[in-house]
Chains A and B, each alone.
Chain A
Amino acid sequence: MSDVLVVAEHRRGELRDVSYELLTAGRELADSTGGNLHATIISGDVDEYGEDLNREGVDAVHTVDHGEEFNHGVCTQAVEQIANEIDAQYVLAGNTVNGMDFYPAVAERLDMPLVTDAIAFETGDGLSVIRELYSGKTEGTIDVDSETAFVSVRPGEWPAAEGTGDAAVEAFDADIDEEALNTTVNGYEEVGSGDVDISEADVLVSIGRGIEEEDNLPLVHDLADALGATVSASRPIVDNGWLGQERQVGQSGKKVTPDIYIAIGISGAVQHVAGMKGADTIITINNDPSAPIYDIADYGIVGDLFDVVPALTEEFGG
């Protein structure tokens, strides 16, 4: 038992980036155990996906041809069977919305301890997983005192595997019990279209929970007007219904790449950063210097937004 299994992810006809990152993370663990690196892809155009997953460092790809899209019942059964078949020591999946919908169940079935949202590994004498705790303000080392483990990996932390490998890409004949599939995926819906497209904006003034109340929003609109910028927001503002979904930046909102992104009263949670790290210049106004947004901001003002924002608006004659 020394092999590592990576569960690749696809959606609506495409392998997702995290799949290639998982191969790199998986290779790191396989190097530490001296075992082989396996990848599996379940449902969809598995032949094509299987070839795509055959990157440098991959020893075997197992494809499971069953249905078009992710169904957690199918995925759970197939991953359990493959992990058992290859006697996997470690199983890795992406810390994604679909990942969260299957790996806790697989870890239970395989009786493997589960550590989620890894950002780094320490290997040597067994496995330790590094992950954030307390809303990104601290990092913890989690020792896994077990021969086997299931680990989910944060997207964007490991580089994508490249090149072409010499893995055998083979169909795995999973025995899927249809009776045990008690969810049916009926389709998909795109949400968040509206009359502004924040992904087209050159300058975004983005507001977070630091604004406290809906009544304070004019502060931000005034600034945006004075700058000729567009207003966007973090999730809580949209959850509260203060701004429309089309203005949400982040994992479940829009990816934006403006020249200038001004984050005001936004802490910089990983799901928010996923949507704005591609901005050319990031500026933050946040009174907490330990907020994770300072890890990625180019310029910042550690101060109270209720003082700084009106002063800034005034500078521009607003």
Chain B
Amino acid sequence: MKILVTVTEVADADDEFEISGTSIADQYLTYDLNEWDDYAIEEAVQISEEHDDIEVVTITFGAERVEETIRTALAKGADRAIRVWDDSFEGQTVLDPSQKARLLAGVVEEEDPDLVLSGVQSGDVSIGATGVALAEQVGYEWAAVVNQLDLDRDSGNAAIHRELEGGVEELTDVELPAVLTIQTGINEPRYASLRGIRQAQSKPLDVMSPEDIGVELEESAIELTELVEPESESNTELFEGSAEDTAGQLAEFLRERGVGA
């Protein structure tokens, strides 16, 4: 059995940043493994530890820089990795979920996994649609926002919980093959061990172009044309001064409101 995990990097902006064109200037950005994908990797690795003969393959769309993040996923227990990239994407943020899905679909069709785990969303752009779009493109079943997963290999079924709003979960059976988008909190992602990190260096990481996987992207109909730091709607009254000063002012305010009195 094969599980494919989509792994992406997200950009976190510094407290102070500048916008250049339609993105935040690179010097203000720090890149890290997408939080939701960390849980998806852990879920796949746990399944592979509980069952025999499960291969965990990660798939990433991204420039060479992303290999550091991919190695982290390998260090946490994935068996091998695939990175799809073409230099023509340099400097672009792909915001069209259908396009992103198409790039992943090429690999899914080649690898033919039984289960694809992706994150609910990428924490930076928060589109939240790639996994389900991918499922539709490759003709897999799917479920979005999964926070519990029990795999029954014999029946080819995943018994899952979907986390709805307001503390309610939906209990659902999903037939495989399927794409599940994984919610944070489903497990406790491990830290990579030193041994894992060493082993990750020798695990296969294949780089492919869209052509290699038979994908020809049409131009997207979606284009980011402007990016602004919104005018602050903030009416926050700030307490200013040292930590002691500000704490003193806040304490006075709270006492006036009858708190802690």
Contacts and interface: CB of A to CB of B under 8 A. Distances in A.
A311 B132 CA distance: 48
A104 B250 contact: no
B239 A301 contact: yes
Main secondary structure of the interface of B (DSSP, over half): mixed
A271 to B, nearest CB: 9
A113 B236 contact: no
Contacts of B127: 116-117
Contacts of B250: 283, 299, 301, 312, 315
A299 B253 contact: yes
State which size class the interface on B falls in: 35 or more
B224 A141 contact: yes
B243 A304 contact: yes
Given A109-B136, A259-B257, A138 B223 contact: no
Contacts of A302: 238
A216 interface: no
Interface string B206-232: 000000000000001111111111101
Interface in B1-30: 11-13, 15-17, 19, 22, 24
Contact of B236 (A139, A226, A229, A294): A294
B227 A139 contact: yes
B254 A104 contact: no
A276 to B, nearest CB: 14
A90 to B, nearest CB: 13
A239 B163 CA distance: 13
Contacts of B123: 135
A299 B96 CA distance: 38
A315 B145 contact: no
B196 interface: no
Contacts of B234: 294-295, 297
B87 interface: no
A186 B133 contact: no
Given A116-B129, A182-B141, A255 B166 contact: yes
A260 B172 contact: no
B246 A301 contact: yes
B116 interface: no
Main secondary structure of the interface of A (DSSP, over half): mixed
Which residue among B98, B172, B232, B243 has the maximum number of chain A CB atoms within 10 Å of its CB?
B243
A134 B19 CA distance: 11
Contact of A132 (B126, B128, B162, B172): B126
B184 interface: yes
Interface stretch (A37-45, A81-89, A94-102, A166-174): A94-102
B260 A226 contact: yes
B225 A98 contact: no
A24 B34 CA distance: 34
B247 A311 contact: yes
Which residue among B98, B135, B254, B257 has the maximum number of chain A CB atoms within 10 Å of its CB?
B254
A103 B167 contact: no
Interface string A57-99: 0000000000000001000000000000000000000011110
Contacts of B110: none
6 closest A-B pairs by beta carbon, nearest first, are A311-B247, A307-B243, A315-B251, A239-B185, A104-B132, A146-B221
Given A251-B166, A307-B243, 5 more contacts: A139-B228, A182-B141, A183-B173, A311-B248, A312-B251
21 contacts: A98-B164, A100-B181, A101-B132, A101-B162, A104-B130, A105-B132, A105-B135, A116-B97, A143-B222, A145-B222, A146-B221, A183-B173, A185-B172, A189-B168, A190-B168, A241-B188, A259-B257, A283-B250, A311-B244, A311-B248, A315-B251
